[in-house]
Structure 1
């Protein structure tokens, strides 16, 4: 059961990509390629 749960969680987290860049005091930053500000 543990192996199945681990496999499911590993597959579910595959779509999450980290990126570099500092955040401001509100935890947000600007994506200069798209011009969109987003927060974490």
Structure 2
């Protein structure tokens, strides 16, 4: 169930990956850490 919620939440972004408490995350393809 949690995986389905995460999958839906990440679909809103142009790239995959959830955000941390600061609204940031690491792009696993490039290794870049950025915020939204």
Scaled by the length of structure 1, the TM-score of the pair is 0.48
After TM superposition, the runs of 4+ consecutive aligned structure 1 residues lying more than 4 A away are none
Which protein shows a greater Rg?
1
RMSD: 1.7
Count of paired positions: 24
Instruction: Indicate the structure whose relative CO is greater, using CA pairs within 8 Å and at least 6 residues apart.
Output: 2
Unpaired segments ≥5 residues, structure 2: 1-12
Give 1:31's aligned residue: 27
Unpaired segments ≥5 residues, structure 1: 1-16
